[in-house]
């Protein structure tokens, strides 16, 4: 981004529009969070450095995509493709965070690949639903996506990963628990946004007059920055 670009980026920010405002704030918050995570790297020993690096990559990838999504949204274009490219990069990285935290407790790359495949299924089905792929309804694709989501939630909350975390105890268990809460509560914001933004749901859902991008932007801020901070806190407390 050149300086002139940056000035016009600020200059044409109509902050009274919630779509524009949340993209603008999202870009700034994700950029600031990335700087925070990257600059904190030297204070941690090598055991934690990869986790903190991944936290920074998640917010940095989002910051770049937010810059382009805001541009698309404010010039009347669609954000769907950029949104899903962002998610397809960042959600698997969140799976990596689970794996890195539980590695000392015995998590294997097999656990990691199951999480990643489930998250890719969740996102690809969601994308199909938003774009009406093969004439399928948003409800049908959303159901398939939701099954993948529940499977991820099951793995981290009840399944093998929960058991590994419980056996490890201490700060590992605590960090795992908090990340799990993000998956159960924070990630539930997305299917809500999806139902608000697509057709074929109950009337009361269709009646909600909030822009889908705004819901997704709030979800991203909570989940991407929150996830990173949980990892950061775990790293600090283990020093």
Which chain residues interact with ligand RET by CB under 6 A? 87, 90-91, 94, 122-123, 126, 129, 142, 145-146, 149, 187, 190-191, 194, 220, 223-224
Cβ neighbours for 67, distance < 8 A, ≥ 6 positions apart: 1, 9, 27
For ligand RET, the closer CB: 138 or 168: 138
For ligand RET, the closer CB: 20 or 223: 223
Residues comprising the chain, all counted: 239
For ligand RET, the closer CB: 27 or 168: 27
In the complex, the smallest distance separating the C-beta of residue 1 from ligand RET, rounded to whole angstroms, is 22
In the complex, the smallest distance separating the C-beta of residue 115 from ligand RET, rounded to whole angstroms, is 12
In the complex, the smallest distance separating the C-beta of residue 143 from ligand RET, rounded to whole angstroms, is 8
Task: Give the chain's radius of gyration (CA, Å).
Answer: 18
In the complex, the smallest distance separating the C-beta of residue 122 from ligand RET, rounded to whole angstroms, is 5
For ligand RET, the closer CB: 87 or 232: 87
Q: Are the CB atoms for 58 and 93 separated by under 8 Å?
A: yes
In the complex, the smallest distance separating the C-beta of residue 179 from ligand RET, rounded to whole angstroms, is 11
For ligand RET, the closer CB: 168 or 175: 175
In the complex, the smallest distance separating the C-beta of residue 12 from ligand RET, rounded to whole angstroms, is 26
Residue with tokens 């009361």: 204
Q: Are the CB atoms for 149 and 191 separated by under 8 Å?
A: yes
DSSP, residue by residue, 167-192: HH-HHHHHHHHHHHHIIIIITTHHHH
Residue nearest to ligand RET (CB): 126
User: Can you read off the two tokens belonging to residue 185?
Assistant: 């509560």
Q: How far is CA 155 from CA 125, 127, 159, in A?
A: 19, 23, 4
Cβ neighbours for 234, distance < 8 A, ≥ 6 positions apart: 48, 51, 101, 171, 172, 174, 175
For ligand RET, the closer CB: 173 or 186: 186
């Amino acid at each position: 981004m050149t300086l002139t670009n940056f000035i016009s980026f600020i200059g044409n920010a109509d902050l009274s529009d919630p779509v524009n405002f949340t993209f603008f704030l999202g870009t700034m918050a994700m950029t600031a969070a990335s700087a925070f995570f990257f600059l904190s790297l030297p204070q941690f020993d090598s055991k934690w450095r990869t986790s903190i690096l991944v936290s920074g990559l998640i917010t940095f990838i989002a910051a770049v995509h937010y810059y382009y999504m805001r541009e698309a949204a404010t010039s009347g274009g669609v954000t769907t493709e950029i949104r899903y490219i962002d998610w397809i990069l960042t959600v698997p990285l969140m799976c990596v965070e689970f794996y890195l935290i539980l590695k000392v407790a015995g998590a294997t790359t097999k656990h990691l690949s199951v999480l990643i495949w489930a998250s890719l299924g969740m996102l690809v089905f969601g994308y199909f639903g938003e774009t009406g792929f093969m004439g399928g309804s948003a409800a049908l694709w959303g159901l398939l996506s939701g099954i993948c989501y529940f499977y991820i939630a099951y793995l981290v909350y009840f399944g093998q990963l929960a058991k590994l975390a419980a056996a490890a105890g201490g700060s590992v268990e605590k960090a795992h628990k908090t990340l799990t809460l993000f998956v159960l509560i924070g990630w539930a914001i997305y299917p809500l946004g999806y139902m608000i933004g697509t057709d074929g749901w109950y009337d009361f859902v269709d009646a909600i007059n909030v822009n889908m991008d705004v819901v997704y932007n709030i979800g991203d801020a909570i989940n991407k920055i929150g996830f990173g901070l949980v990892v950061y806190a775990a790293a600090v407390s283990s020093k």
